[in-house]
Amino acid sequence: MAGKLQAEIRQRKPFVSLEEETYLNLVRTADTLTRELDLLLQPYGLTTTQYNVLRILRGAGEEGSTCSGISERLLAFDPDVTRLLDRLEKGQLVQRTRSTTDRRVVMTTITTAGLELLGKLDEPVESLLKQQFRGIGRERLRQLVAELEEIRTR
Protein backbone atom coordinates (compact mmCIF):
# COMPACT_ATOMS: atom_id res chain seq x y z
CA MET A 1 0.00 0.00 0.00
CA ALA A 2 1.40 3.39 -0.98
CA GLY A 3 1.86 5.97 1.75
CA LYS A 4 0.52 9.52 1.70
CA LEU A 5 3.86 11.00 0.64
CA GLN A 6 4.11 8.67 -2.32
CA ALA A 7 0.69 9.91 -3.49
CA GLU A 8 1.52 13.57 -2.75
CA ILE A 9 4.65 13.55 -4.88
CA ARG A 10 3.04 11.24 -7.46
CA GLN A 11 5.77 8.66 -7.14
CA ARG A 12 4.79 5.45 -8.87
CA LYS A 13 7.57 3.19 -7.62
CA PRO A 14 7.90 2.28 -3.95
CA PHE A 15 10.60 4.03 -1.94
CA VAL A 16 13.96 2.28 -1.90
CA SER A 17 13.83 1.94 1.89
CA LEU A 18 11.94 2.98 4.98
CA GLU A 19 14.84 5.33 5.73
CA GLU A 20 14.37 7.05 2.35
CA GLU A 21 10.64 7.40 2.95
CA THR A 22 11.30 8.80 6.44
CA TYR A 23 13.88 11.29 5.15
CA LEU A 24 11.61 12.50 2.35
CA ASN A 25 8.69 12.84 4.78
CA LEU A 26 10.87 14.99 7.07
CA VAL A 27 11.95 17.21 4.18
CA ARG A 28 8.40 17.57 2.87
CA THR A 29 7.02 18.32 6.34
CA ALA A 30 9.74 20.86 7.16
CA ASP A 31 9.10 22.60 3.85
CA THR A 32 5.35 22.74 4.50
CA LEU A 33 5.80 24.17 8.00
CA THR A 34 8.39 26.69 6.79
CA ARG A 35 6.24 27.88 3.88
CA GLU A 36 3.38 28.57 6.29
CA LEU A 37 5.69 30.62 8.50
CA ASP A 38 7.05 32.41 5.40
CA LEU A 39 3.50 33.44 4.52
CA LEU A 40 2.92 34.78 8.02
CA LEU A 41 6.19 36.78 7.99
CA GLN A 42 5.89 38.08 4.43
CA PRO A 43 3.70 41.13 5.24
CA TYR A 44 6.34 42.18 7.79
CA GLY A 45 9.12 42.01 5.19
CA LEU A 46 10.93 39.17 6.95
CA THR A 47 12.17 35.77 5.89
CA THR A 48 12.20 32.86 8.33
CA THR A 49 15.99 33.17 8.61
CA GLN A 50 15.77 36.90 9.38
CA TYR A 51 13.10 36.16 11.97
CA ASN A 52 15.39 33.52 13.48
CA VAL A 53 18.25 36.06 13.69
CA LEU A 54 16.03 38.60 15.44
CA ARG A 55 14.96 35.97 17.98
CA ILE A 56 18.61 35.03 18.58
CA LEU A 57 19.52 38.66 19.16
CA ARG A 58 16.54 39.23 21.45
CA GLY A 59 17.76 36.27 23.50
CA ALA A 60 21.32 37.60 23.51
CA GLY A 61 20.14 40.74 25.31
CA GLU A 62 21.99 44.04 25.43
CA GLU A 63 25.33 42.31 24.93
CA GLY A 64 24.33 41.13 21.47
CA SER A 65 26.27 38.57 19.50
CA THR A 66 29.04 38.24 16.95
CA CYS A 67 28.35 37.12 13.41
CA SER A 68 29.86 33.71 14.14
CA GLY A 69 27.80 33.43 17.34
CA ILE A 70 24.63 34.09 15.37
CA SER A 71 25.69 31.61 12.69
CA GLU A 72 26.19 28.86 15.30
CA ARG A 73 22.68 29.35 16.66
CA LEU A 74 20.77 29.53 13.36
CA LEU A 75 18.23 26.76 12.87
CA ALA A 76 19.17 26.34 9.21
CA PHE A 77 22.65 26.85 7.77
CA ASP A 78 23.18 30.17 6.01
CA PRO A 79 26.56 30.70 4.37
CA ASP A 80 26.29 34.50 4.30
CA VAL A 81 25.20 35.79 7.70
CA THR A 82 26.97 39.09 7.02
CA ARG A 83 24.67 39.84 4.07
CA LEU A 84 21.69 38.77 6.16
CA LEU A 85 22.72 41.23 8.89
CA ASP A 86 23.24 43.94 6.25
CA ARG A 87 19.57 43.63 5.22
CA LEU A 88 18.36 43.69 8.84
CA GLU A 89 20.56 46.71 9.57
CA LYS A 90 19.22 48.49 6.48
CA GLY A 91 15.73 47.92 7.88
CA GLN A 92 16.92 49.37 11.21
CA LEU A 93 16.07 46.13 13.03
CA VAL A 94 19.65 45.50 14.19
CA GLN A 95 22.73 47.59 14.76
CA ARG A 96 26.38 46.64 14.62
CA THR A 97 29.15 48.08 16.73
CA ARG A 98 32.87 47.44 16.51
CA SER A 99 34.44 46.43 19.82
CA THR A 100 36.65 49.08 21.40
CA THR A 101 38.93 46.43 22.94
CA ASP A 102 39.34 44.30 19.81
CA ARG A 103 38.69 46.07 16.51
CA ARG A 104 38.25 42.70 14.73
CA VAL A 105 35.11 41.95 16.74
CA VAL A 106 31.76 43.36 15.61
CA MET A 107 28.80 42.94 17.95
CA THR A 108 25.25 42.93 16.60
CA THR A 109 22.31 43.90 18.80
CA ILE A 110 18.60 44.10 18.14
CA THR A 111 17.14 47.62 18.00
CA THR A 112 13.98 48.88 19.63
CA ALA A 113 12.26 48.59 16.24
CA GLY A 114 13.41 44.97 16.00
CA LEU A 115 12.08 44.23 19.48
CA GLU A 116 8.75 45.87 18.65
CA LEU A 117 8.44 43.85 15.46
CA LEU A 118 9.13 40.61 17.32
CA GLY A 119 6.58 41.64 19.95
CA LYS A 120 3.96 41.99 17.20
CA LEU A 121 4.89 38.56 15.83
CA ASP A 122 5.04 36.57 19.07
CA GLU A 123 1.32 35.79 19.30
CA PRO A 124 0.68 35.13 15.59
CA VAL A 125 3.70 32.81 15.36
CA GLU A 126 2.67 30.95 18.52
CA SER A 127 -0.86 30.57 17.13
CA LEU A 128 0.50 29.24 13.85
CA LEU A 129 2.69 26.68 15.64
CA LYS A 130 -0.23 25.49 17.76
CA GLN A 131 -2.36 25.18 14.62
CA GLN A 132 0.39 23.31 12.76
CA PHE A 133 0.69 20.70 15.52
CA ARG A 134 -2.95 20.54 16.62
CA GLY A 135 -4.31 17.09 17.22
CA ILE A 136 -0.91 15.54 17.90
CA GLY A 137 -1.10 15.66 21.70
CA ARG A 138 1.55 16.78 24.18
CA GLU A 139 3.00 13.32 24.82
CA ARG A 140 3.36 12.50 21.13
CA LEU A 141 4.97 15.90 20.54
CA ARG A 142 7.49 15.21 23.34
CA GLN A 143 8.18 11.82 21.77
CA LEU A 144 8.65 13.40 18.33
CA VAL A 145 11.08 15.96 19.76
CA ALA A 146 13.08 13.19 21.45
CA GLU A 147 13.21 11.13 18.25
CA LEU A 148 14.32 14.10 16.13
CA GLU A 149 17.01 15.02 18.68
CA GLU A 150 18.26 11.44 18.65
CA ILE A 151 18.52 11.50 14.84
CA ARG A 152 20.53 14.77 14.94
CA THR A 153 22.91 13.59 17.66
CA ARG A 154 23.52 10.01 16.44
pTM, whole model, 2 decimals? 0.88
pLDDT in tens, 10-64: 888 888 998 998 999 999 999 999 999 999 999 999 999 999 999 999 999 999 9
CA angle, residues 134, 140, 146, in degrees to nearest 5:
120
* Distance of alpha carbon 38 from alpha carbon 20, whole angstroms: 27
* Distance of alpha carbon 114 from alpha carbon 55, whole angstroms: 9
User: Structural domain boundaries of the chain?
Assistant: 16-152
Q: What is the DSSP letter of 50?
A: H
CATH of domain 16-152: 1.10.10.10
* Distance of alpha carbon 12 from alpha carbon 115, whole angstroms: 49
CA distance to 65, 110, 120, 141, per residue, from 43 (Å): 27, 20, 12, 30
pLDDT in tens, 66-123: 999 999 999 988 888 999 999 999 999 999 999 888 888 899 999 999 999 999 999 9
pLDDT of residue 27: 94
